[in-house]
């Protein structure tokens, strides 16, 4: 038997190992999951999935004071809601302190890192002096070549950044970026309180996870040369980088709460659908001709991280609402139902699933969000107890209105079978028998049952209620008119 039949030859494993695409999303759990972070996660996810690669999730919770479990929950819920599922175990940096320490100790032993005994006051004085002289504010290398421990001071550990040369990388979004080592200083890899720093952990973890492409916000560009120097010092392969631009609010400032919702879970509460959010975010900073609507399959087919624009993009809520409306229209009522029901609960309305399912097709055309849809449909489950003055003045005017509503009530009560068609006929018969225009019956009847909420064709509207409820609401309105016009 040929040895090849036993399995793929070893060199194939080697090739797979070398070329495996690995991306990661590495949020810090110190607040909400920002919509900009979600776009980064989406780009990482798309790039990994396009290349049959791996998409990892790492929670960067080394800042024990600012990191919270609640924030980690928000991140996991948000990604899960959007379907941006990661591969493998989630890495929590807070559980890796021993690994970081071991590497730091090795670096000290190899002379790649050193203890710095400077006190905070000394460092502050250093910065003040540099400021005064108009120099860039950097650590002056005082302990780079050794020095005596200072009693009472717990030392930080600093990385020996190369003094000469420069660091260069070809950023997939920004092109070639070059930074001279003279612009960098010996940065801290472990603070005096024992906490390893972001720039250190990120390198150790990305190398351990064999990340091939780091996709992150451009606010990290200035960290990248420091990280590349550390990769080299530790003998790790340097990954590729793509720094995606910021998302701005309509005033040109970085998108923040001042501009409205930035937490992705607020978008769920507002009634946005995951495909609308993902479609909106993929286009924010990337284009494929002038196509606006992208199914998940199309995103996977067309998206290229190299084509992401380097200029910042502006968040446009109206466009997101437009896309959301599109996806609401495209969905089946069955798919919308479970997503819509929580919005009734949020309004304090007890909704009946079967009725909601029947009503959805009549509301899909106009609602821009599921919250709006639930608000528009709430009348089905909450009978009016009063009527908006303006609407009542218009719809209930004329001495015969109460009588017309009662006549319609009688006709509906007499129906053997109540459905859209028979209701339609009952309305038509009422109009005809009383010799009035359709509006004379239609307008007050609609207001009577809906209390003024947006509603479909009158017969359809009535059909969303059971017969007893239709009659009760028509009767209530007739009495209301009698009382208020009395």
Known binding-site residue numbers for ATP? 257
Q: Which of 21, 22, 23, 28 binds ligand GLU (CB under 6 A)?
A: 28
CB of 55 to ligand GLU, least distance (A): 13
CB of 28 to ligand GLU, least distance (A): 4
User: Cα–Cα distance between 404 and 440 in angstroms, integer?
Assistant: 8
Cβ closest to ligand GLU, residue 60 vs residue 372: 60
CB of 457 to ligand GLU, least distance (A): 51
Interacting positions 191-250 with ligand GLU (CB under 6 A): 202, 216, 220
3-state secondary structure of 180: strand
Q: What angle do CA 54, 58, 59 make, to 5 degrees?
A: 160
Is residue 449 within the footprint of ligand GLU (CB under 6 A)? no
User: Cα–Cα distance between 162 and 155 in angstroms, integer?
Assistant: 21
Helices 97-109 and 224-234, packing angle to 10 deg: 70
What CA–CA distances, in Å, run from 412 to 41, 348, 471?
56, 30, 8
Is residue 325 within the footprint of ligand GLU (CB under 6 A)? no
Residue 241 · residue 203 · CB < 8 Å: no
In this structure, the strands spanning 166-171 and 54-59 are unpaired
User: Cα–Cα distance between 44 and 39 in angstroms, integer?
Assistant: 9
Cβ closest to ligand GLU, residue 91 vs residue 282: 91
DSSP conformational letter for 217: E
Is residue 26 within the footprint of ligand GLU (CB under 6 A)? yes
DSSP element (H, E) containing 428? helix 420-434
Cβ closest to ligand GLU, residue 265 vs residue 382: 265
Tokens (6 digits) for 37: 């972070």
Query: Per DSSP, what are the bridge partners of residue 166?
Result: 180
CB of 43 to ligand GLU, least distance (A): 12
Residue 164 · residue 181 · CB < 8 Å: yes
At 158, give phi and psi (nearest 5°).
-115, 150
In this structure, the strands spanning 54-59 and 91-92 are parallel
CB of 202 to ligand GLU, least distance (A): 5
Cβ closest to ligand GLU, residue 40 vs residue 463: 40
Cβ closest to ligand GLU, residue 28 vs residue 463: 28
Beta-carbon neighbour count of residue 52 at 10 Å? 9
* Part of the chain binding ligand GLU (CB under 6 A), chosen from 26-34, 351-359, 424-432, 448-456: 26-34
Which of 95, 131, 253, 257 does the annotation list as catalytic?
Answer: 257
* Part of the chain binding ligand GLU (CB under 6 A), chosen from 20-28, 242-250, 408-416, 456-464: 20-28
| Radius of gyration (C-alpha) of the chain in whole angstroms | 32
Is residue 367 within the footprint of ligand GLU (CB under 6 A)? no
Residue 479 · residue 419 · CB < 8 Å: no
Q: Does residue 257 have an active-site annotation?
A: yes
Cβ closest to ligand GLU, residue 202 vs residue 356: 202
User: Cα–Cα distance between 144 and 384 in angstroms, integer?
Assistant: 77
Q: Which residue is nearest to ligand GLU (CB)?
A: 216
Number of amino acids touching ligand GLU (CB under 6 A): 7
* Part of the chain binding ligand GLU (CB under 6 A), chosen from 21-29, 77-85, 251-259, 385-393: 21-29
* Part of the chain binding ligand GLU (CB under 6 A), chosen from 23-31, 288-296, 347-355, 423-431: 23-31
At 195, give phi and psi (nearest 5°).
-85, 125
Cβ closest to ligand GLU, residue 86 vs residue 216: 216
Tokens (6 digits) for 329: 């229209």
Annotated binding-site positions: 257
User: Cα–Cα distance between 405 and 399 in angstroms, integer?
Assistant: 12
CB of 41 to ligand GLU, least distance (A): 10
For ligand GLU, what does the binding mask look like between residues 42 and 61, x meaning CB under 6 A?
Answer: ------------------x-
Is residue 27 within the footprint of ligand GLU (CB under 6 A)? yes
User: Cα–Cα distance between 476 and 213 in angstroms, integer?
Assistant: 66
CB-count burial class (<10 Å; 0-12, 13-18, 19+) for 176: exposed
Cβ closest to ligand GLU, residue 223 vs residue 484: 223
Residues noted as catalytic: 257
| Binding residues for ligand GLU (CB under 6 A) | 26-28, 60, 202, 216, 220
């Amino acid at each position: 038997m040929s040895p090849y039949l036993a399995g793929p030859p070893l060199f194939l494993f080697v090739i797979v190992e070398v070329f495996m695409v690995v991306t990661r999303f590495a949020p810090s759990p110190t607040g909400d999951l920002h919509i900009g972070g979600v776009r980064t996660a989406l780009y990482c996810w798309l790039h990994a999935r396009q290349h049959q690669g791996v998409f990892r999730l790492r929670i960067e919770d080394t800042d024990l004071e600012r990191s919270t479990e609640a924030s980690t929950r928000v991140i996991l819920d948000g990604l899960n809601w959007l379907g941006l599922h990661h591969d493998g175990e989630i890495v929590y940096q807070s559980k890796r302190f021993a690994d970081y320490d071991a590497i730091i100790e090795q670096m000290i032993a190899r002379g790649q890192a050193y203890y710095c005994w400077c006190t905070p006051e000394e460092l502050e004085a250093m910065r003040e002096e540099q400021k005064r002289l108009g120099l860039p504010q950097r650590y002056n290398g005082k302990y780079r070549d050794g020095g005596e421990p200072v009693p009472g001071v717990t030392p930080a550990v600093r990385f020996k950044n190369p003094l000469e040369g420069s660091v260069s990388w070809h950023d997939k979004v920004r092109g070639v970026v070059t930074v001279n080592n003279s612009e960098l200083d010996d940065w801290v890899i472990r603070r005096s309180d024992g906490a390893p720093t972001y720039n250190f952990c990120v390198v150790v973890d990305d190398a351990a996870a064999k990340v091939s492409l780091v996709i992150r916000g451009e606010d990290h560009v200035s960290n990248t040369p420091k990280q590349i120097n550390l990769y080299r010092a530790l003998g790790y392969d340097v990954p590729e980088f793509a720094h995606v631009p910021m998302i701005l609010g309509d005033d040109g400032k970085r998108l923040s709460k001042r501009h409205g919702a930035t937490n992705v879970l607020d978008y769920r509460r507002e009634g946005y659908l995951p495909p609308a959010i993902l479609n909106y975010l993929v286009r924010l900073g990337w284009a494929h001709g002038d196509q606006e609507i992208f199914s998940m399959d199309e995103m996977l087919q067309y998206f290229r991280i190299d084509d992401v624009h380097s200029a910042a993009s502006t968040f446009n809520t109206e466009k997101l609402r437009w896309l959301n409306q599109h996806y609401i229209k495209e969905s089946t009522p069955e798919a919308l139902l479970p997503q819509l029901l929580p919005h009734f609960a949020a309004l304090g309305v007890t909704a009946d699933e079967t009725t909601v399912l029947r009503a959805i097709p009549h509301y899909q055309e106009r609602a821009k969000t599921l919250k709006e849809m639930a608000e528009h449909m709430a009348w089905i489950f909450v009978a009016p107890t009063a009527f908006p003055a303006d609407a009542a003045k218009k719809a209930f005017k004329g001495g015969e209105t109460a009588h017309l509503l009662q006549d319609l009530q009688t006709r509906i009560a007499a129906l053997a079978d109540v459905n859209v068609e028979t209701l339609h006929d009952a309305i038509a018969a009422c109009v005809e028998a009383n010799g009035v225009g359709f509006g004379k019956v239609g307008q007050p009847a609609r207001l009577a049952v809906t209390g003024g909420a947006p509603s479909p064709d009158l017969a359809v509207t009535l059909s969303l209620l059971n017969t007893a409820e239709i009659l009760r609401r028509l009767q209530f309105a007739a009495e209301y008119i009698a009382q208020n016009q009395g």
